[in-house]
Structure 1
């Protein structure tokens, strides 16, 4: 079977030939206009969709694709994919949890080092002919708190514990007794026990604004925040107020509420480091991500078990 895949993502093009070599026919639609046109013009051909969490796939789009059998999401997050609509139609959904964990963890450490050691400010000063001798904290021995101990959280924990002798604690929905890190039953407890709080939990309704004013207050004036997950996990207004009023020491952010728009208030601050949602991007991660999509697609169309299926809500067969 030569299945047709609608590709909505825009950042793995160099590795899409891996899917074509497996016999899949690709329709590329990385912009909103191309996406709408592809669904309108090719609805009767599309068997699968390749998307990512923020791009998602809506109930209306799922309903418009009568041949759709499987939705493959690159990365761990799938917050904008309508899982209920997929379940109602019996459509499988997979994600790429863990595939880009190393890349995201590397970026989290790069952000953390840049933030704590003041690397962007030092670089800018030297370029301007200045030679400031500013004392900055060392990571060694700091207390690290991780919100979410999935593949990304574990990769960050290993790097920090083994590379920087940091004391690692975490908060997640369930304790992970197989992991050698301390579990905090609440996020406020974790923030209070941390010098650095790293967010590595999926986005979506269940985690929206988990990091709010009380959590930032518990992190304190000498605490740092790093977010390589989803902006929705943090109450942005509360974070901006905490940064502007110096109620936390600083924040490093790879994700924002309305990407690619970044609030000007962030840009005016000297205690933030900002990157354009690139933590999961590396040649290795992109290659492995597309390879995982290919394995899931092949398994599905060959009638074999999926490698990374998502648990879907119970189907409502009465839904349109």
Structure 2
């Protein structure tokens, strides 16, 4: 039986399914793997199933390598140096599709929480500082009918657009790296153009060298003073220092974040702000979604082990 290394435990049903096909080794830890651990896993196993944050940098792909590929658990794979993996003959896969709706739902959660000041209100109640309803208490932004600007119009971006238009009657503008025709949405020429027009800006694109800090000080300065930034992509697509400055100065109205530039570190300056909603990377955190992701990763792992082209190569 082929040997599979799992970097962090997956739902029980997924672990049981993996064990039907592989001799499985799974780490007890929940923290990401370091480079030395990654290198050892590649040397001793036929397939490795990594996930967010595992340090598969170029240095991991040195020395003896037994593995034939990496069946990543998750759609994002910026923790893997794909070019370095391919250079030593490894296949890399991911789990697209399974995460789309759950991630889009998280975007909507953050849009509504940030716009309606829900995090701030919950803190008020818990602290015993709420003394009853009155007409001008905690007035937020009414989302219905506003303009949402989506940065990256792939599967997740389109799912967000659908929710915004069908559920809230929002106008959709977007920026995408390639031309794309989306019914009911207008593609704009630049990220700055989207930021200028939108009441809510949502990042929904892959983290690459080209997209790092695509939301920078210039993009933030183009946003309207009442506008909200939501990030459900990866932390480093937003210049976190520039965002903190924009929030502190009131240059933008607020933010909703599920991801951070140096996870799991969240700057104290962000935690001190009332006009930002902070979630612990909950994007796909629903059992059935994680089970779907696991089954997709299993299909990829089996194909890699058998020397077939996997369903979801990156």
Rounded to whole Å, the distance in 2 between the matches of 1:264 and 1:34 is 25
1:97 corresponds to: 96
SS in 1 for 2:97: coil
Aligned residues: CA RMSD? 2.1
Gaps of 5+ in 2: none
What displacement does 1:138 show? 1.3
SS in 2 for 1:206: coil
Answer yes or no: is 1:192 the counterpart of 2:196. yes
SS in 2 for 1:269: coil
1:28 corresponds to: 26
Contact 1:122 1:132 in 2 (8 A): no
Rounded to whole Å, the distance in 1 between the matches of 2:241 and 2:257 is 14
2:148 corresponds to: 144
Matches within 5 A, 1:123-134: 123-127=122-126, 128=128, 129-133=130-134, 134=137
Rounded to whole Å, the distance in 2 between the matches of 1:307 and 1:237 is 39
Aligned residues: 307
Contact 1:153 1:200 in 2 (8 A): yes
Structure 1 pair 33–82 and aligned structure 2 pair: CA distance change class (3 A): closer
Contact 1:95 1:309 in 2 (8 A): yes
TM superposition score normalised by structure 1: 0.89
SS in 1 for 2:210: helix
| Residues 50-104 of structure 1, C-alpha deviations (whole Å, 9 max, x = no match) | 1124324123322345211011112221112111221111211111122111111
Gaps of 5+ in 1: 311-320
Matches within 5 A, 1:33-48: 36=36, 39-40=39-40, 44-48=43-47
Rounded to whole Å, the distance in 2 between the matches of 1:13 and 1:56 is 25
Rounded to whole Å, the distance in 2 between the matches of 1:296 and 1:212 is 36
1:296 corresponds to: 300
Structure 1 pair 211–11 and aligned structure 2 pair: CA distance change class (3 A): farther
Rounded to whole Å, the distance in 2 between the matches of 1:199 and 1:44 is 37
2:120 corresponds to: 121
Rounded to whole Å, the distance in 2 between the matches of 1:146 and 1:101 is 15
Contact 2:49 2:301 in 1 (8 A): no
Matches within 5 A, 1:40-79: 40=40, 44-79=43-78
What displacement does 1:294 show? 1.1
Matches within 5 A, 1:255-270: 255-270=259-274
